Amino acid sequence: MVIDFGGYTAKVIEKDMLRQVPEDIDTREGSIIQTAVGPVAWYLEGLYLELAHLQANAYADTAVGKALNLIVQQRGLTRNPATPAIRKGSFNVPIPSGAQFKTINGANSVIFVSGELLFSTENSYVYAMTCQVLGIVGNNYIGNLLPITAVSDLTSATLGEIITAGTEEETDKALRERFFETFRVAAFGGNIQAYRNAILAIPGVGAVQVYPAWQGGGTVLCSILDDKRKPALAATVQTVQDIICPSEGDGTAPSPNGYGMAPIGAAVTITTAAPLTLDITCDIEFALNVQNGAETYLGQVEEKIQEYLDTVSQTWGAH
């Protein structure tokens, strides 16, 4: 049963308390009785606020933060943490592991730390570079790097392709949706719900559509969007592919031999949506007293159109 604690204010509590006092005793404001019960009523209001907060955090639909983390554990779920971006860094000389380099973009600059050597050619050494700041901030910059660690003979340092996209910590809304998703259809043996649960649990994925037998029996196509309902980065697509159904050996096609989450016999291909440019025209009639209406309201019209498109994208991948 859900109790409505909204009416338990200090004023209401004080009135209820004073109502219990005999009529021949002065309870007017400033009297000894009123002065005594006033602070108590204020304190009890705080207790009722705590009870309301406790009650809200007892249900998945209203719980937030750590309380929601505890509730979703009942279904074997955990909140996806923020992750750092891992990028390819190109240098004209070998650099030591752990060397620090800073992006050159003013107040938005972040530091990347060198990791393993990915490959090298003549006068070009490419390393995995991990951003020191968690989240999507490390995904954006492309260009020259400023060395913080001294490296002899270094004349060229650039940050390029994303290896693994950085992601923000999963929001309460996204985690709550994943929790309720587990109740809709039982996940079992590679059915559609099993793919949905596994893919939506991967950081950076916000939605997925599953197409069974898209190229005949034993083939599955899963199309994903990022956590902003936009086409996913190639690095995110590859990460999901490796988790769900990686290739075997030196091959590039997904293997049906069960090396990932997909069951033996299922070759699963991960892809993402393609961007679509919409050309929208409309006739708008403004009031007679509006001057330069098209110029004045163009931004607001475009904003409303974008809001509508955003609501449409939110339904992508939903049942």
User: Can you tell me the distance from the alpha carbon of 98 to that of 84, in angstroms, rounded to the nearest whole number?
Assistant: 15
Residues 6+ apart with CB under 8 A from 289: none
How many domains is the chain built from? 3
Q: Does residue 296 sit within a domain?
A: no
Which of 116, 110, 151, 149 is CA-nearest to residue 131?
110
Q: Does residue 219 sit within a domain?
A: yes
Average pLDDT score over residue span 248-256: 86
Phi, psi at residue 161, to the nearest 5°? -60, 145
User: Can you tell me the distance from the alpha carbon of 146 to that of 138, in angstroms, rounded to the nearest whole number?
Assistant: 15
Same domain, 20 and 52: yes
User: Can you tell me the distance from the alpha carbon of 181 to that of 319, in angstroms, rounded to the nearest whole number?
Assistant: 10
The dihedral through the CA atoms of 108, 114, 118, 120 has a sign that is positive
Same domain, 195 and 236: yes
Same domain, 190 and 160: no
Per the CB < 8 A criterion, the answer to whether 197 and 244 are in contact is no
Report the predicted TM-score, pTM, of the whole model to 2 decimal places.
0.73
Same domain, 212 and 254: yes
Tens digits of residue pLDDT in 52-61: 999 999 999 9
The whole-number pLDDT of residue 219 equals 94
Tens digits of residue pLDDT in 97-118: 999 999 999 989 999 999 999 9
Helices and strands: H and E segment counts in the chain: 7, 9
**What's the domain range around 38?**
10-56
pLDDT at 293 over 90: no
- Please provide the average confidence, as pLDDT, over all residues in the chain: 91
pLDDT at 319 over 80: no
Average pLDDT score over residue span 224-252: 90
Same domain, 115 and 190: no
Same domain, 156 and 90: yes
Same domain, 91 and 153: yes
Tens digits of residue pLDDT in 255-275: 999 999 999 999 999 999 998
Per the CB < 8 A criterion, the answer to whether 85 and 131 are in contact is yes
